[in-house]
Structure 1
Amino acid sequence: MGNSHAHGDHRKFRNNGNVPSPDKTASAPSPSQPVPPSIYQPEHILIPNSSIHASYMATSLPYSHVDSALRALAAQAEGFGRCAIGGLHGPIYYVTTLLDDGPGSLRDGCRKKEPLWIVFEVSGTIQLGSYLNVSSYKTIDGRGQRIKLTGKGLRLKECEHVIICNLEFEGGRGPDVDGIQIKPNSKHIWIDRCSLRDYDDGLIDINRESTDITVSRCHFAQHDKTMLIGADPTHVGDRCIRVTIHHCFFDGTRQRHPRVRFGKVHLYNNYIRNWGIYAVCASVESQIYSQCNIYEAGQKKIAFKYLSEKAADKEEASSGCIRSEGDLFVIGAQAGLMTEDGEFCMFHPSEYYPTWTAEPPTDSLKQVLQHCTGWQCVPRPADHPLAAQ
């Protein structure tokens, strides 16, 4: 497929003095050679033998067990959103109508203050006349049906512990209309297996001190400004933002995969192809750890862009920093050079969470991400609340 960048093999095991240094010029594993997924381990973490053995299985996606029971999703995200429990401790709320509001509607369930696990008894399109505000401790679980939200999007405002799973978002219209807007002061959010396309503003926007968020297995298409993390250089409080984006497919979207101001972002095992301006942008003080992703160029070849902006409490402008480890750049894709002012301290994910599932960026991974991201035709699992709690 091409050459890997920075490090040839991303897997790390406890340092016993016998582990060779990574070969910075090594090529990615050949697609013809079976290469297993692995549980990434920082050198100071020793995972159980069972996890090590699991790393020698065929290419697969993380947390496949969550479809074994309805509430098995709770607290199973990888990365910064790993604590999100959604409506784990609440009753099931059944959406029985595609109307925008009223009894049995999605909006009616999302506005309720108590924890709820929201599921759907109907399939179809919900035409939103205004942003749908989601309150804390909610799971919006689209498994078992096919639900598309259009017109407007979801707004997660000053809320916590929200899980959004297996929905479609398409055709949002109006100024500042995003598919999923997370601001201000929201935390412990997990967005999983959603398909998003064709909104007038962003598909997912995260800003105003919202943090501890994971976006996984989502499919982004037919869009310009895909994902913005940190909206303005005057919002210095956004230094708290932490986001993990993994196993997503950015399918010909033009830019912002993501664009980041201030925040810390861990990208791994994503497939970004045929961007129109750039793939990933690091602006003021951002730190982006790009690991084992596939960057497949179209006409535009430079994947990483660095933009200098002046934080409101600083005298000089600065850009952000991108560290690329084990990334694969193909069809002429190039990382691009970091600006001098972007070379500052870079976080490592192991400072915040001990393990995550990553594998080398092979053709096998690319095929999986093309077919297993976004909305999935999966049945709604049975509810076993006592076992889950």
Structure 2
Amino acid sequence: MLALPYADVDATLRGLASRAEGFGRATVGGLHGEVYRVTTLADNGCGSLREGCRKSEPLWIVFEVSGTIHLQSRLMVSSFKTIDGRGQRVKITGKGLLLYQCEHVIVCNLEFEGGRGPDVDAIQIKPNSRHIWIDRCSLRDYSDGLIDITLGSTDVTVSRCRFSTHDKAMLIGCSCSDIMDRCIRVTVHHCFFDGTRQRHPRVRFGKVHLYNNYTRNWGIYAVCASVESQLVSQCNVYEAGERKLVFMYLTEKPADREEGACGCIRSEGDLFLNGAQSCSPGGTEALPPKAAAETQTVFDFRDFYESCSIQPASVELKEALQLCTGWQPIPRPLDGITTKNNVTA
């Protein structure tokens, strides 16, 4: 089977730290903290996930239990935390995670399903959060979005995640009035968008690098570029269902501009299957008028990071991503740790 990137990070518990690719590559999570063990599926209290996430010090959070954690309210994650689901099967439901004004957070190998309530997302990253890595998570069936990255949050990587049974998968940039989102930089790679309806992702203002993702059977569009956004779609697999249009452009007026603008998408090495079309028959989606003069200004990822594990788009890649994205039944790596009062040194 096709080898996916960073296969060696599971050799040691803290091997994940600083191993993200792309814009979130500097993320260390709880590397320099103690190990906190989740010993209960309760929403709150001693040994709960919420208790670990609210602590101010760096922590590497692991699970001693498998099962479902039903959140009664959003779970706010503080800075320098790793929530590491390897070795167990833990599902988050009810509400979701809120990464609020934090930095250096890793979320790995969890399931998110069945979040309910107004504006309930599986993972919200806002405002002004940075150095975030979401890795190998399965996300489905929430009331609003699955992952939202908004309000000045930046330097985020989403990798090897699986999105399914949902409408609005991923939003990057909240609204045309939030001009602080011009700072947003996000990398999405080796993810599987499995029949989700739209937003794979939808982007306002930010710079987004998409590579080696597999998106199939969308309901409206695959990728949407709105106001001033710059997207590089590189070596992805787009397999159409009934709807064939891959890229959509929407014009919106920024709060500090007199005229509206859409975004730009540069497609390089993408594989289009089952009649998927990068533009409409008239060609307007391939090169929207507002963006025509700006197509050469779409960013080059090499101006921000030297390298990443881009592979040619292929049927083999598509098959690998169906197996190796989302939650994985992998053992928790050893770290030579000893236990004391639920926190290990």
TM-score (normalizing by structure 1): 0.84
Q: Indicate yes or no: 2:290 matched with 1:290.
A: no
Show structure 1 runs of 4+ deviating over 3 A. Answer: none
Question: What corresponds to 1:186 in structure 2?
Answer: 129
Question: What corresponds to 2:287 in structure 1?
Answer: 338
- Aligned runs of 1:366-381 on 2, under 5 Å? 366-381=318-333
Question: What corresponds to 1:93 in structure 2?
Answer: 36
Answer 1 or 2: higher relative contact order, Cα 8 Å, separation at least 6. 1
TM-score (normalizing by structure 2): 0.94
Q: Indicate yes or no: 2:93 matched with 1:150.
A: yes
Supply the RMSD in Å over aligned alpha carbons: 0.8
Give deviations 1:156-213, integer Å, cap 9, x for gaps: 0000000000000000001110000000000000000000000000000000000000
Question: What corresponds to 1:18 in structure 2?
Answer: none
- Aligned runs of 1:116-135 on 2, under 5 Å? 116-135=59-78
CA distance in 2, matches of 1:150, 1:197: 10
Paired residues in the alignment total 328
Q: Aligned-pair distance for 1:59?
A: 2.3
Give deviations 1:265-316, integer Å, cap 9, x for gaps: 0000000000000000000000000000000000000000000000001110
Question: What corresponds to 1:48 in structure 2?
Answer: none
Aligned pair partner of 1:169 in 73, 87, 112: 112
Fraction of identical pairs, as percent: 69
Question: What corresponds to 2:300 in structure 1?
Answer: 348
Q: Indicate yes or no: 2:213 matched with 1:270.
A: yes
Q: Aligned-pair distance for 1:384?
A: 5.2
SS of the aligned residue for 2:168 comes to coil
Aligned pair partner of 1:250 in 168, 185, 193: 193
Q: Aligned-pair distance for 1:363?
A: 1.2
Question: What corresponds to 1:357 in structure 2?
Answer: 309
Q: Aligned-pair distance for 1:338?
A: 2.4
Which runs of 5 or more structure 1 residues have no equivalent in the other structure?
Answer: 1-57
Q: Indicate yes or no: 2:96 matched with 1:160.
A: no
Give deviations 1:206-235, integer Å, cap 9, x for gaps: 000000000000000000011000010000
**Is contact 1:59-1:365 (8 Å) kept?**
yes
CA distance in 2, matches of 1:199, 1:342: 34
CA distance in 1, matches of 2:336, 2:4: 24
Instruction: In structure 1, give the amino acid aligned to 2:255.
Output: A
Q: Indicate yes or no: 2:57 matched with 1:114.
A: yes
Which runs of 5 or more structure 2 residues have no equivalent in the other structure?
Answer: 280-285, 338-345
CA distance in 2, matches of 1:335, 1:179: 29
CA distance in 1, matches of 2:93, 2:212: 29
Give deviations 1:220-251, integer Å, cap 9, x for gaps: 00000110000100000100000000000000
Instruction: In structure 1, give the amino acid aligned to 2:245.
Output: I
Q: Aligned-pair distance for 1:353?
A: 0.1
CA distance in 1, matches of 2:112, 2:287: 34
**Is contact 1:166-1:192 (8 Å) kept?**
yes
**Is contact 1:271-1:293 (8 Å) kept?**
yes
Give deviations 1:107-161, integer Å, cap 9, x for gaps: 0000000000000000000000000000000000000000000000000000000
Q: Aligned-pair distance for 1:362?
A: 1.0
CA distance in 2, matches of 1:217, 1:237: 28
Question: What corresponds to 1:83 in structure 2?
Answer: 26
Q: Aligned-pair distance for 1:340?
A: 1.2
Question: What corresponds to 1:8 in structure 2?
Answer: none
Instruction: In structure 1, give the amino acid aligned to 2:71.
Output: L
**Is contact 1:69-1:384 (8 Å) kept?**
no
- Pair 1:72–1:129, CA change in 2 (3 A): same
Question: What corresponds to 1:6 in structure 2?
Answer: none
